[in-house]
Structure 1
Amino acid sequence: MNATVGALQHRLRADASRNRERIMAAARHVLLEAGPDAPLDTIAQRAGVGNATVYRHFADRRELFRQVVLYSMERITDAAEAALADPADPFDVLSGFIHTAADEHVGSVCSLTSEDFDRNAPPVVAARERLLQAIEALMSRARDAGQLRPDVTIGDLMVAITQLSRPMPGSECTHFERFARRHLQLFIDGLRSPARSTLPGESVTLEDLERRST
């Protein structure tokens, strides 16, 4: 009897975990398409679950947004850490990661943090620190190899990824992915050392990004 109950509980937990994963993936895509005002029932429909299931996992819209942001940060961090284990050419590895990060559409996800988002919540701080540590390690490896121009900071990199992964406003903009990848590659080519120009102004710091997003 106990074994039967245990198996049932395990199956229920597994089902709940799969539902949560489906909701997170669906929410990410719907929010990227429709923005922060996307109806929660649309997210539930895309995930193939009922509205009650969404509310059972997330207390309200704000909690759902927070989890979507953390979900995207975790996926990008996992990609950066996997790239660090790649023994290939450091600049090629960095370039591959930049494309992967852009594919996560972090620029659109960032719009979810504009209102009622606690950037100092412990899970957010921990996720951000893990992400930045992995990206900085990738950049340092390419820089130490003499391949990454020394005047580019992690802030510069994050600004470019954010801007180039945010679709331009207006429904008339089609095939955005093709254009974004083209201009992203132009940016990556500009990262190479030796530099062919002197960058104007000052490098972007993480503190700058935090101040400008609040």
Structure 2
Amino acid sequence: MAISEAGTSAARSGACGEARSGASVARRRGGRPRADALRNRERIVSAAREMLVEFGPDVPLDEIARRAVVGNATLYRHFPDRKDLVHEVVVSVLSRTAEIAESAVMEIAEERGDAFGALRRFVHEAADERIGALCPMLAEGFDAQHADLLAGRERLEVAVEDLMGRARKAGRLRADVAVGDLMVALSQLTRPLPGSGCVDFDQFVHRHLQLFLDGLEAPARSALPGCAATLEDLRRPQ
């Protein structure tokens, strides 16, 4: 995955110029981004999510462009530097995962399924969004307090709290667990092991998530050590 620094710099420089020019045209026309530009952006973000999971936060941007089947200039036109792209990936994962949780809550509210079954489906679908890849992305220099990220995180937390509360009220979720317990397990179990190369990793993710979910269901088979983990507990400096 060697990168030509000269070529990358030239692509970035040209793309930034095109971005400024394109933005000016858009402002003059007062229009929205073209459909093909939006599709390219979505393809880049999707490819970046996959490759950041597979290869970590330092994966070459040129390789992401190749996976997305777009030119380097197109990638840099949308995302002038790595931090912009990583930010967009994290926001996208948070948003898509929150939508899954909200859909599960709606399913319970409309009595289209049982509360724990909806929670179970949320966990497996959230795993497919690669939410466990968020932690390695939050590297040095990443603005974890950006307004977009705080809003996305709050939306997800509210939806998951609601989902777990409904399962608990229905007597299907053990009382000694909280949203932090769920999110830690989801994050850890969806993160590939070092050196695993992600070969057929999904089969193990869903298998182990199912084991975890069986442990969440009431009645509890044993007492858990410690206290239920809230998201505030996870953020508190140790």
TM-score, length-scaled by structure 1? 0.90
1:147 aligns with 2:168: no
Which among 187, 195, 211 is matched to residue 186 of structure 1? 211
* Whole-angstrom CA distance in 1 between matches of 2:67 and 2:236: 35
Residue in structure 2 matched with residue 27 of structure 1 by the alignment: 48
Cα gap change, 1:171/1:98 in structure 2, threshold over 3 Å: closer, same or farther?
Answer: closer
Paired residues of 1:108 and 1:166 also in contact (CA < 8 A): yes
1:13 aligns with 2:34: yes
Match of 1:53 in 2: 74
Q: Tell me the distance in 1 between the aligned counterparts of 2:130 and 2:32.
A: 33
Q: 1:37 corresponds to which residue?
A: 58
Report how far residue 83 of structure 1 moved: 1.1
Instruction: Tell me how many residue pairs correspond in the alignment.
Output: 207
Deviations 1:144-194 (A, max 9, x none): 101101111000000000011011112477432212211111110111111
Q: Contact 1:69 / 1:110 at 8 angstroms: preserved in 2?
A: no
Query: CA 1:132/1:173 → structure 2, altered by over 3 Å: closer, same or farther?
Result: closer
Query: Take 1:11 and 1:128, find their aligned partners in 2: how far apart are those partners?
Result: 27
1:117-196 aligned at under 5 Å gives the runs 117-171=142-196, 174-196=199-221
Note the residue ranges of structure 1 that are not aligned, 5 or more in a row.
1-5
CA distance in structure 1 between the partners assigned to 2:223 and 2:139 by the alignment: 33
Q: In the alignment, does 2:233 pair up with 1:208? A: yes
Per-residue Cα deviation, 1:47-76 (whole angstroms, up to 9, x for no partner): 111111111111210111111000111110
Q: Taking structure 1 as reference, are residues 142 and 164 closer, same or farther at Cα in structure 2, changes over 3 Å only?
A: same
TM-score by length of 2: 0.81
With over 3 angstroms needed to count, the CA separation of the structure-2 counterparts of 1:172 and 1:50, relative to structure 1, is closer
Alpha-carbon distance in 2 for matches of 1:176, 1:190: 22
Aligned to 1:107: 132
How far apart are the structure 2 equivalents of 1:11 and 1:173? 38
* Identical pairs, percent: 55
Residue matched to 2:104 = 83
Shift of 1:88: 0.5
C-alpha contact 2:54 2:198 (8 A) present in aligned 1: no
Cα deviation 1:83-117 (Å, max 9, x = unaligned): 11212011001000001111122112321013212
Aligned to 1:3: none
CA–CA separation in structure 2 for the residues paired with 1:125 and 1:178: 32
Shift of 1:11: 9.0
Question: Does the C-alpha gap of structure 1 residues 123 and 37 become closer, same or farther in structure 2, counting only changes over 3 Å?
Answer: same
Aligned mates of 1:12, 1:128 — CA distance in 2: 26
Q: Which runs of 5+ in 2 are unaligned?
A: 1-25
2:88 to 64, 67, 75: 67
